[in-house]
Amino acid sequence: MKFSLNHSIQSYPDLLIVPIAKQEASLRCLESIGKITNVPLEVLKTDFEATHKESQTLYFQENGTNKRIVLLGLGKQPGFKEIISAFRSFGYRRKSSLPASTGVSFIFGNVEENAALWVEAAVNGLELGNYEIGLYKTDTDEKATPATDLAVQVFVAQNEKEAAQIAIDRGIKIAATQMEIFDLVNAPSNKKTPQTLADWAMRSGKKHDYAVQVLNQKEIEELGLHGLLAVNRGSENPPTFIIMEYRPSSPAKKKIGLVGKGVTFDTGGLSIKPSANMHYMKSDMGGAAAVMGTLEMAAKLQLPFHIMGVVPATDNSVDAKSVKPGDVIGSYDGKTIEVIDTDAEGRLILADGLAYTVRHFNPDILIDLATLTGSCIRTLGTYAGGLFSNNDELANDLLASGQSTGERLWQLPIWEEYRNEMKSDVADIKNFSGAPSAGAITAAKFLEAFIQDHPVWAHMDIAGVAVSDSEFSSQKSATAFGVRLMTQYLQQLAEKKA
Ligand code: BES
Ligand code: ZN
Ligand code: ZN
């Protein structure tokens, strides 16, 4: 899609989308649409209620040509997320039928403030609506032709144009990265090995000009990443340890370390998972994907931070060589770990990732993202990721970014009492308390033991949000959760006064 900006409508595009929230002020907007289309306001009001994702097509003629206006409902007090989803839903439903000349208007009094934000959401949503999940379908009839050749005119007030241009650019850029992340997370495990993640990072690094280093099995052994090696023991695919590094062209405001769980498939290992939902464990690298997407966005937007993204990648498989419950393993940090449950593998590889990042990079801020626990899903459902932090300022900044992007977080405590549950009789720490309670928190406490006492650390458990039910697929599919959240967080941080 190509987007262009205009502040007035000389001639109507074949289809003009007018997003409208459910509020008093929308009446004025409906009134002007009514005049253009010759529909009385009373009729418009009854037929279109502006509920979220509702759409109503109106037809009229301009100089003898047929034109359409589509009223797109946004619901009451729509946030950024609701505007995106309304446009994505519309774009998805109309993927094959949008005319080459399409427009989106924000100049009918349908936007009260911050038009740029609406523009970014609209552009992002329309682009995402084009996402095609059926990568492996051979029957092309089943695939809708994506609306890639569209020329979309965006209409905003003259004084909003500059901000809107930036918004269009951001909406396009983030959508492209999000769709890459969808593909990565949705990819099945037989098409996605630790090397696949490494290849993605190298390709992205080349394209967007940031450095990527990939450590192979031998280098991982030499370094002593014993957590990663233990999880990888049962796998036919060697592990990779991916280190992405983005440097801004001007002096960096801060150093930021990001670590993502890159489990390309989690069978549970010998503590094997039940079969019912095991197929979703192809998405157990959602944290890694979020980190990779964030690095790519930082490079695309030239954010003023020196950022290191670290991804320990492996699958967690069943084999004679697999690590066994009760085994004691080492770690990069030097601590010994008793592996009570081989399904608590994410924390083993993150332990190495976190310790490595602090020792080699010494960041000002340390953040990890991981599809870490079923417990987090039982706690928050699929409506928020779990947030754990030892630093209030960092936690509040992340919560605020979660709120404004709609990729919501909810903070849980990491009180010292929970740490006691991770004490091992035989080793320095165990990977599972054995109790069915507070599993997301005890997992966070385990990670905390490996951050080398870093004072500004946050962990996000995105198990419930990395994939979700939606109208875009019959099964749960990727959300790219974390990419928008982290991009927003970094942008806010860049503007923040020291
Ligand atoms: N990858 C899972 C967590 C998960 C579960 C993510 C469901 C997405 C959906 C993780 O490795 C895991 O299995 N965690 C265990 C830990 C337990 C054995 C201590 C869990 O949460 O059940
Ligand atoms: Zn697991
Ligand atoms: Zn896992």
The torsion angles phi and psi of 162, rounded to 5 degrees, stand at: -60, -50
* Nearest atom in ligand 1 to 371's CA: 6
Please report the pLDDT score of residue 141 as a whole number. Answer: 74
What is the mean predicted confidence (pLDDT) over 306-332?
98
- CA 329/CA 50 separation, integer angstroms: 58
Give the angle 383-415-255 at the CA atoms, nearest 5°. 75
Question: Is 273 annotated as catalytic?
Answer: yes
What is the mean predicted confidence (pLDDT) over 103-129?
95
pLDDT digits (tens, 9 = 90+) for 65-103: 999 999 999 999 999 999 999 999 999 999 989 999 999
pLDDT digits (tens, 9 = 90+) for 240-270: 999 999 999 999 999 999 999 999 999 999 9
The torsion angles phi and psi of 460, rounded to 5 degrees, stand at: -115, 120
E strand or H helix that includes residue 406: none
Q: What is the 282 CA–ligand 3 centroid distance (Å)?
A: 9
What is the mean predicted confidence (pLDDT) over 393-397?
98
Lowest mean pLDDT among 139-148, 348-357, 473-482: 139-148
Torsion, CA 28, CA 30, CA 35, CA 37, rounded to 10: 170
Please report the pLDDT score of residue 147 as a whole number. Answer: 67
What is the mean predicted confidence (pLDDT) over 179-191?
98
Q: 358: pLDDT confidence band, cut at 50, 70 and 90?
A: very high
Q: Please give the C-alpha separations between residue 16 and each of 12, 45, 69, 327, 395, in angstroms, as whole numbers.
A: 7, 19, 5, 63, 41
Question: Is 203 annotated as catalytic?
Answer: no
439 ligand 1 Cβ < 6 A = yes
Q: 112: pLDDT confidence band, cut at 50, 70 and 90?
A: confident
Answer yes or no: is pLDDT of 345 > 70.
yes
CA-nearest residue, atom 14 of ligand 1: 373
Q: What is the 343 CA–ligand 3 centroid distance (Å)?
A: 6
* Nearest atom in ligand 1 to 375's CA: 21
Q: Please give the C-alpha separations between residue 367 and each of 24, 292, 451, in angstroms, as whole numbers.
A: 43, 13, 10
Which residue do the tokens 């967007």 mark? 208
Answer yes or no: is pLDDT of 149 > 90.
no
Q: 316: pLDDT confidence band, cut at 50, 70 and 90?
A: very high
pLDDT digits (tens, 9 = 90+) for 56-67: 999 999 999 999
Ligand nearest to C-alpha 431 = 1
Q: Residue 110 is encoded by which pair of tokens? A: 């349908």
What is the mean predicted confidence (pLDDT) over 92-116?
93
- CA 480/CA 35 separation, integer angstroms: 41
Answer yes or no: is pLDDT of 219 > 80.
yes
Tell me, what amino acid is at 416? Answer: E
Q: Residue 44 is encoded by which pair of tokens? A: 């418009």
3-class secondary-structure state, position 10:
coil
The pTM score is 0.98
Which residue do the tokens 């924390």 mark? 347
Task: Tell me 278's DSSP state.
Answer: G
Q: What is the 273 CA–ligand 1 centroid distance (Å)?
A: 9
Q: What length does the chain have?
A: 498
341 ligand 1 Cβ < 6 A = yes
What is the mean predicted confidence (pLDDT) over 314-318?
98
Q: What is the 267 CA–ligand 2 centroid distance (Å)?
A: 7
Torsion, CA 343, CA 346, CA 349, CA 351, rounded to 10: -110
Ligand nearest to C-alpha 276 = 1
* Nearest atom in ligand 1 to 316's CA: 11
Give me the catalytic one of 300, 347, 445, 484: 347
- What rounded mean pLDDT belongs to the chain? 97
Answer yes or no: is pLDDT of 142 > 80.
no
Comparing C-alpha atoms, which of 8, 4, 30 is closest to residue 18?
30
Comparing C-alpha atoms, which of 308, 315, 312 is closest to residue 350?
312
Give me the catalytic one of 68, 161, 255, 273: 273
* Nearest atom in ligand 1 to 376's CA: 21
- CA 440/CA 228 separation, integer angstroms: 20
Q: Please give the C-alpha separations between residue 4 and each of 151, 169, 266, in angstroms, as whole numbers.
A: 8, 11, 45
Q: 274: pLDDT confidence band, cut at 50, 70 and 90?
A: very high
Ligand nearest to C-alpha 437 = 1
461 ligand 1 Cβ < 6 A = no
By DSSP bridging, strand 55-62 and strand 65-73 are: antiparallel
Please report the pLDDT score of residue 144 as a whole number. Answer: 66
Q: What is the 162 CA–ligand 3 centroid distance (Å)?
A: 44
Ligand nearest to C-alpha 373 = 1
Q: Are the C-beta atoms of residues 88 and 129 closer than 8 Å to each other? A: yes
* Nearest atom in ligand 1 to 266's CA: 1
Q: 186: pLDDT confidence band, cut at 50, 70 and 90?
A: very high
Starting at the edge strand found earlier in the chain, the sheet holding 101-105 runs 2-6, 151-155, 101-105, 15-20, 65-73, 55-62
Which residue from 265, 284, 380 has its CB within 8 A of the most atoms of ligand 1, so it is best to mutate? 284
Contacts of 10 (CB under 8 A, 6+ apart): none
| Residue 358 φ/ψ region, left for φ over 0, alpha for ψ in the -120 to 50 degree band, beta for the rest | alpha
